[in-house]
Amino acid sequence: MTIKQTIKKYNHELKEVTHIPSKEIEILIMYLLDKNIIWLHLNYDKEFEKENELQKIVKKRATHYPIEYIIGKASFYGEQFLTCEQVLIPRPETEILVDKAKDILENIQNPKVIEIGTGSGIISVMLALLIDNIKITAIDINDKALELAQKNAIKFKVDHKIDFIKSDLFDNVSEVNYDMCISNPPYIANNYKLPYNVKFEPGNALFGGEVGDELLNNIISITYESNIKYLCCEMGYDQREPLAKLLKSLKSKKIEFYKDYSDFDRGFCVEFNK
C-alpha cells in the first residue's frame, strides 16, 4: 500500500478526536519514517512499510491520547519543543504571555527573571532566545518537568542562561532578587470536568485549587512581598474580576489585562510601585 492509500485508509479512525484526521495521519507517518513534510509531499506514491506500527499509534490516538505525547514534540512560538508524559503540552495562547514579557524586558538591561511552574520550559527558553543578557531561574515542583525543560534549554543552546530549581513557589530559592516574575500556573477549579484529551495531562499542572485562582493569588502576594517589580501571568477566562480586585489592593503603577486569540480574558501584566 502506498503512503497516499495509507492516509486514506486510516484517517476515518481519527475523525472523532480531531478535525484534521488526514493531517494527523500524515504527522504520524512522518514521525515513524523520521521524514519532513517536503519529503512526504514528494513521496505519496511510495510504498509504506510500517503499517503495523502506524496501526498501533492510530489506535492510541483514537483514545484521545495527545499526538504531542506520541511524537514527542509540539510547536510553540514557531519552534519545535520536546514533550513528554506527565508534563503539560504547550498551548498557543502562552505565546501571548511571552510577547507581553518580552515587551517589558527589552527595556531592562541584564534582566533577571523567575518563572514559577516552568513545565516543558517553553516560556523560559523563548525568553532566553529573545532577550540578550537575560538570567532566568525556572522553578517547578515536578521532577519530570524540570528534566524536560533542561533538555529543551540544551536543545536551543540557552541552558547557560537558565537555572532550574525544584521548588514549591519560592521555598528553595535562596536569594529572591528579580526584575520580573512570570507564570502560567495551574488555574482550573479542582472540580472542573476536563475534555478527553486534557485528561492525559498532569493534574498538578492544571488544577489551581477549589476556586481555581488560589495559586495565582499566592503568586501575586509573594511577588509583591519579594519586591519584584513586574509580574506577568496567564489566568482563566473568568478570573479577571477577583484578580483585578486583589491587584488593585496593592500599590501598583500599571495593571494591564490581555485577551487570547479567541478574545477571552487570558492574563495580566502588572508593574508594582515599590
- Would you count residue 235 as binding ligand SAM (CB under 6 A)? no
Name all contacts of 220-226 with Cβ < 8 Å and 24+ positions apart.
220/246, 220/247, 220/250, 220/270, 222/169, 222/170, 223/181, 223/272, 224/250, 224/272, 226/170, 226/176, 226/178, 226/181
List 141, 165, 189, 244, residue binding ligand SAM (CB under 6 A)? 141
Residues between 205 and 224 with contacts to ligand SAM, criterion CB under 6 A: 205, 215
Nearest to ligand SAM of 7, 205 (CB atom): 205
**207-209 vs 188-189, strand pairing mode:** parallel
Residue 144's contacts (CB-CB under 8 Å, 6 or more residues apart) are: 84, 85, 86, 87
Among residues 90, 111, 236, 267, the one that binds ligand SAM under rule CB under 6 A: 90
Closest CA to 170 of 232, 223, 234, 97: 223
Amino acid type, 42: L
DSSP-derived 3-state class of residue 267: strand
Under rule CB under 6 A, residue 184 binds ligand SAM: yes
Q: Does 236 bind ligand SAM (CB under 6 A)?
A: no
Applying the rule CB under 6 A, the residues between 110 and 129 that interact with ligand SAM are 116-120, 122-123
Q: Is 185 in the site for ligand SAM (CB under 6 A)?
A: yes
Residues near ligand SAM (CB under 6 A), total: 23
CB of 133 to ligand SAM, least distance (A): 22
CB of 184 to ligand SAM, least distance (A): 4
The residue written with cell numbers 495559586 in the block is 215
Q: Which range in 48-56, 103-111, 138-146, 253-261 contacts ligand SAM by CB under 6 A? A: 138-146
User: What CA–CA distance (Å, rounded) separates 234 from 215?
Assistant: 12
State which of residues 88, 105, 125, 162 lies at the interface with ligand SAM (CB under 6 A).
88
| 142 lies in the site for ligand SAM, by CB under 6 A | yes
CB neighbourhood size of 16 (10 A): 10
Distance CA 176, CA 46 (A): 58
Q: Which amino acid is at 28?
A: L
- Nearest distance from C-beta of residue 241 to ligand SAM, angstroms: 21
User: If binding is defined by CB under 6 A, does position 169 make contact with ligand SAM?
Assistant: yes
Reduce the DSSP state of residue 82 to 3 states and report it.
strand
Q: Which of residues 15-74 bind ligand SAM (CB under 6 A)?
A: none
Strand partners, 259: 265
**The one segment of 24-32, 38-46, 183-191, 252-260 that binds ligand SAM by CB under 6 A:** 183-191
**Among 18, 55, 80, 204, interactor with ligand SAM by CB under 6 A:** 204
Binding-site ranges for ligand SAM (CB under 6 A): 88, 90, 94, 116-120, 122-123, 139-142, 145, 168-169, 184-186, 204-205, 215
